[in-house]
């Protein structure tokens, strides 16, 4: 079973070695490429998600950097190859052919034959590009990254940024956290993937998925914590790729995130919904700014002490739950029928790459190693599943989920004696 760190051949190995071996096999099994070399990427799951997803690809590239850096570069170059002339890179790229007929209505495309969605996903490209370059420097790759990211960041600023530099989203799936309870209140029956969600997509399709037009029409929109954390990380990445001024932008975005999205009463970050109202549901996205090097230390310490490690909130046995256990909306297992509602409690592999570097930066090495140790034990036991129950540890969703291989990076960051390079 290529997806499983817990496969039969791996039994008897120590869990870390088992995870290494399983992650490398999983990345290789999920890889696909064009015969003419135009694209090559890791399918998040060959059956469930055969297309190229932006933040999944960023995670896979960082994982590939530990196994085969040339593949890591190809993965990100494929995203670059999907960049539109105006700079946009879609949430999902359909290299293998257009969206299936039965899916076209629900997808964020204007025409069925569009090569990618018109929507965004957390813009982690700068983070991933810098991380891959740092592990295996390649000047051509660096230069290409600076060009691609320059155009992408310019598009995001033009189309999505408010006066404070923070980006807006026009659908909850743009946050990467499709059915997060954070947006239950403003969306109601139009929440992902309820029937009304199709109407939200339909209305945005008519506006050609223009955020500015959605805002002008008084439609749903939000300033999301995770998207803006990724935005600041992408600027940091650009700075590490050698672009002057990018570090200042990263610091400005970080300061705006703290100013606008931090709740000093609760000690956690909340998104702002239509009308600028804070949406006070404690989800893991509220902890994601831990990833930011410029986060004030006292804010980081509260995120960790009062939330991440709190046993009644996010400090559950199989971390990191996507919703705080003390929220009424928290569900540790699968929820939603006939279509699952994601990110309402289970732990997903996209989360720890934001939190582990933050713990290390705060000097919480023991907590960082403990978190990674639990993830390793979980993957060794259950394989690389799409998400898992934070209480029982049971693996759920897709069975060969490649973004989980990013655990290789977290193992390297927390390995004893290794200097942590974070951000």
- For residues 256 and 205, the answer to whether their CB atoms sit within 8 Å is no
| Residue 396: CB minimum distance to ligand GLC, A | 13
Distance CA 98, CA 110 (A): 12
Residue with Cβ nearer ligand GLC (49 or 231): 49
**Nearest to residue 127, comparing CAs of 226, 236, 229, 41?**
236
CA distances from residue 166 to 93, 156, 205 in whole angstroms, order as listed: 25, 10, 23
- For residues 40 and 78, the answer to whether their CB atoms sit within 8 Å is yes
For residue 259, give every residue at least 6 positions away whose Cβ sits within 8 Å of its Cβ, in sequence order, or none: 164
**Residue span 158-177 as binding mask against ligand GLC, x where in contact by CB under 6 A, dash where not:** ------------------x-
- For residues 118 and 90, the answer to whether their CB atoms sit within 8 Å is yes
Residue with Cβ nearer ligand GLC (53 or 269): 53
Count Cβ atoms below 10 Å from residue 124 Cβ, excluding itself.
29
- The residues in 326-355 that bind ligand GLC, with binding defined as CB under 6 A, are 342
Residue with Cβ nearer ligand GLC (49 or 155): 49
Residue with Cβ nearer ligand GLC (342 or 384): 342
Q: What is the DSSP letter of 100?
A: P
Residue with Cβ nearer ligand GLC (235 or 342): 342
Residue with Cβ nearer ligand GLC (117 or 414): 117
| Residue 44: CB minimum distance to ligand GLC, A | 4
Distance CA 375, CA 160 (A): 35
- 107 near ligand GLC, rule: CB under 6 A: no
Distance CA 287, CA 282 (A): 9
φ, ψ (nearest 5 deg) of residue 169 = -120, 155
Beta bridge partners of 323: 283
Residue with Cβ nearer ligand GLC (55 or 231): 55
| Residue 238: CB minimum distance to ligand GLC, A | 22
**Residue span 293-332 as binding mask against ligand GLC, x where in contact by CB under 6 A, dash where not:** ----------------------------------------
**Residue span 42-81 as binding mask against ligand GLC, x where in contact by CB under 6 A, dash where not:** --x----x---x-xx-------------------------
Residue with Cβ nearer ligand GLC (56 or 364): 56
| Residue 21: CB minimum distance to ligand GLC, A | 23
| Residue 386: CB minimum distance to ligand GLC, A | 7
**Nearest to residue 40, comparing CAs of 10, 8, 82?**
82
Residue with Cβ nearer ligand GLC (18 or 121): 121
Residue showing the smallest CB distance to ligand GLC in the complex: 44
CA dihedral in degrees (191, 174, 385, 402; nearest 10)? 160
Structure tokens at 64: 């590939």
- The residues in 391-420 that bind ligand GLC, with binding defined as CB under 6 A, are none
Q: Which residue has the tokens 């600076």?
A: 146
Distance CA 219, CA 145 (A): 34
Residue with Cβ nearer ligand GLC (67 or 106): 106
- H or E element in which residue 73 lies: helix 69-81
Q: How many CA atoms lie within 13 A of 271 on its CB side?
A: 31
| Residue 314: CB minimum distance to ligand GLC, A | 19
Which of 59, 88, 125, 178: binder of ligand GLC (CB under 6 A)? Answer: 178
Distance CA 78, CA 69 (A): 14
Q: In the complex, which residues of this chain contact ligand GLC (CB under 6 A)?
A: 44, 49, 53, 55-56, 176, 178, 342
């Amino acid at each position: 079973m290529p997806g499983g760190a817990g496969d039969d051949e791996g039994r008897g190995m120590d869990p870390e070695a088992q995870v290494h071996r399983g992650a490398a096999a999983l990345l290789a099994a999920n890889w696909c490429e064009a015969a003419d070399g135009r694209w090559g990427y890791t399918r998040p799951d060959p059956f469930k998600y055969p297309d190229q997803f932006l933040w999944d690809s960023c995670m896979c590239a960082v994982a590939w950097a530990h196994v085969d850096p040339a593949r890591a570069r190809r993965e990100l170059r494929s995203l670059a190859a999907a960049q539109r002339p105006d700079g946009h890179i879609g949430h999902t790229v359909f290299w293998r052919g257009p969206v299936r007929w039965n899916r076209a209505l629900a997808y964020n495309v204007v025409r069925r034959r569009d090569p990618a969605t018109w929507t965004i996903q957390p813009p982690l490209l700068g983070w991933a590009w810098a991380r891959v370059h740092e592990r295996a420097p390649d000047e051509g790759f660096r230069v290409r990254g600076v060009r691609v990211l320059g155009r992408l960041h310019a598009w995001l600023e033009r189309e999505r940024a408010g006066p404070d530099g923070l980006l807006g989203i026009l659908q909850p799936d743009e946050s990467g956290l499709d059915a997060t309870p954070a947006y239950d209140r403003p969306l109601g029956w139009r929440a992902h993937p309820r029937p009304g969600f199709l109407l939200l997509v339909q209305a945005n399709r008519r506006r050609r998925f223009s955020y500015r037009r959605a805002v002008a029409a008084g439609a749903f929109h939000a300033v999301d914590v995770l998207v803006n954390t990724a935005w600041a990380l992408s600027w940091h990445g650009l700075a590490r790729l050698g672009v002057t001024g990018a570090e200042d932008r990263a610091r400005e975005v970080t300061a705006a995130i703290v100013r606008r999205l931090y709740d000093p009463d609760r000690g956690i970050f909340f998104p702002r919904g239509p009308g600028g109202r804070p949406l006070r549901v404690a989800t893991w996205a509220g902890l994601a700014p831990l990833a930011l090097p410029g986060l004030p230390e006292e804010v980081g310490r509260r995120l960790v002490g009062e939330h991440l490690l709190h046993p009644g909130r996010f400090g559950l046995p199989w971390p990191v739950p996507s919703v705080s256990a003390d929220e009424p909306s928290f569900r540790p297992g699968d929820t939603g029928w006939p279509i699952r509602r994601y990110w309402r409690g289970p732990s997903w592999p996209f989360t720890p790459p934001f939190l582990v570097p933050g713990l290390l930066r705060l000097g919480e090495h023991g907590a960082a190693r403990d978190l990674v140790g639990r993830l390793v034990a979980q993957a060794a036991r259950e394989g690389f599943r799409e998400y898992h129950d934070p209480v029982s540890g049971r693996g759920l969703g897709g069975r060969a989920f490649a973004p989980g291989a990013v655990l290789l990076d977290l193992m390297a960051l927390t390995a004893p004696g290794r200097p942590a390079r974070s951000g």
